Amino acid sequence: MVIKPSELTPLSTIKLVELLEEANLPAGTVNLVLGPGSRVGTALVEHPGVDLISFTGGLDAGQKVMAAAARDIKKVTLELGGKNPNIIFNDTDFDTVVDNALTAAFVHSGQVCSAGSRLIVHDEIHDRFVSELARRAELIQLGDGLDPNSECGPLASAEHRENVERHIAQGVAEGARLVAGGQRPTDEALLAGNFLRPTVFADCERTMDIVREEVFGPVVTIERFSTEEEAIFLANDTEYGLAGAVWTNDASRAQRVAEQLRHGTVWINDYHPYLPQAEWGGFGKSGLGRENGLQGLNEYRETRHIYQNINPAPARWFKGQGTRSR
């Protein structure tokens, strides 16, 4: 195995490899290379000694990996982006669902492929929900990840923050109503970091780019629905299909909706639990194959069939084969 982490966030992978060495894993079993994807990642993908490429990242990079792997017919698993719906019916506990909607959207500053970045809220609670979510979003404490008082950290790079800001400006231009965040913090202690205030858009329509494109930052959009069928339609109206959630106290409705969502993981009355025994992966442009679970393990296996005849005899299929040649 050869691991190539993102050049922006390599430290956790380096530490993992150090721990594997401490555990006396045989030398050469797991190898680590560092560097930019455009050079090091490309070399790995194109190397003839590589049998399987397991890639986690954005859609554009995933398409390039898949195209490069196709030249040598290499096996590929892709865990790509998502524009993940979080459906909220009017019969769920209001405080609980607002709290979890914040976590779904803003944990790790929204830099999570499965972030609940697309809220779909029932008409009856929509206005109250928008107001309360915006109020709480403004209270989120930004800061250094090593500070125990911090609730939300910076974005991965200055370039990425600028990209998220372009998405925000685009959302405003499209007519979405900015009700929280949308700008850099003014706190002097945060000016040196790539921080961005948690951002909430209301009055969003499914055709808007801010609703359809993955932002991968602290940005959440809110759409509204009136019927169960409309909620399902909106949730599935995406090129992606990684994860989603449904919040309701009606157990039958929860199962009906979950069964109709075209997303690799569907949570009911929760968001963001990840289990090593549960397969993880997406539909559509969210990727190929699965991680975790038995199916995830099987991605790293090759299946073959060995047949042995324990009593071989002449088949007599062709005429004239019944006599021995002289």
Q: Are 204 and 176 in contact (CB under 8 A)?
A: yes
Which of 18, 113, 138, 165 does the annotation list as catalytic? 113
- Of the residues 7, 18, 21, 79, only one is catalytic, namely 79
Q: Pick from 295, 300, 301, 284: which is nearest to 63 by CA?
A: 284
Q: What is the DSSP string of 102-157?
A: HHHHHGGGG--TT---EEEEEHHHHHHHHHHHHHHHHT--B--TTSTT-SB---S-
Q: How far apart are CA 82 and CA 262, in angstroms?
A: 12
Structure tokens at 209: 């780019």
**Pairing relation of β-strands 85-88 and 243-247?**
parallel
113 is catalytic: yes
CB count in 10 Å sphere of residue 252: 8
213 an active-site residue? no
Spell 55-79 as b/e; 16+ CB within 10 A means b.
bebebebbebbbebbeeeebebbbb
Enzyme catalytic residues: 79, 113
